[in-house]
């Protein structure tokens, strides 16, 4: 059975093109993760295909460096969706429904197709946020990482759920 993949918009790939091979960035998943964390922290999401009709399905599973954090990432996704939908963690039936919609332990990613769509949407929204906040696409990884850390820290501080 085929499952949905991690997806990155081509405009995002182009935006990161100057730093994608600079250490410590080793994989496209690193770039995806930068976007995803900002998207989840800000609660910002957008449909990749609607924002940019060209995209790349780049992997069907969490890459080895991120596999130990897979459950944390899924937990952040669930938390973002609870917040977006205005559902309290105390609303057990609603939380259970969201889990069923997003989580599939039979899939290697532990996500349903809907869950993978949502993750890709938050990554896409995170890219939108980064592109808006930075004057230009990044050219030097050290400079990008400093700026990124400030933006992410600010987003986390403004998010009462984090």
Q: What is the dihedral of CA 2, 59, 161, 131, to 10 degrees?
A: -130
Residue 11 belongs to some domain of the structure: no
Residue 6 belongs to some domain of the structure: no
pTM of this prediction?
0.91
Range of the domain at 26: 17-158
Q: Is 1 helix (H, G, I), strand (E, B) or coil?
A: coil
pLDDT attached to residue 52: 58
Q: Is 98 helix (H, G, I), strand (E, B) or coil?
A: helix
Residue 3 belongs to some domain of the structure: no
pLDDT attached to residue 155: 94
Answer whether residue 34 shows pLDDT above 60.
Answer: yes
Residue 147 belongs to some domain of the structure: yes
| pLDDT tens, position by position, 111-134 | 999 999 999 999 999 999 999 999
Residue 138 belongs to some domain of the structure: yes
């Amino acid at each position: 059975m085929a499952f949905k993949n991690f997806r990155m918009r081509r405009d995002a790939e182009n935006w990161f093109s100057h730093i994608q091979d600079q250490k410590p960035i080793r994989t496209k998943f690193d770039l995806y993760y930068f976007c995803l964390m900002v998207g989840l922290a800000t609660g910002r999401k957008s449909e990749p295909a609607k924002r940019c009709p060209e995209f790349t399905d780049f992997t069907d599973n969490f890459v080895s460096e991120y596999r130990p954090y897979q459950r944390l990432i899924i937990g952040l996704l669930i938390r973002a969706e609870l917040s977006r939908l205005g559902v309290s963690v105390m609303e057990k039936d609603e939380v259970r429904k969201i889990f069923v919609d997003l989580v599939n332990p039979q899939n290697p990613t532990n996500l349903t197709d809907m869950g993978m769509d949502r993750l890709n949407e938050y990554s896409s929204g995170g890219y939108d946020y980064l592109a808006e906040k930075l004057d230009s696409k990044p050219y030097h990884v050290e400079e990008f990482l400093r700026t990124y850390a400030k933006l992410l820290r600010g987003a986390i501080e403004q998010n009462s759920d984090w």
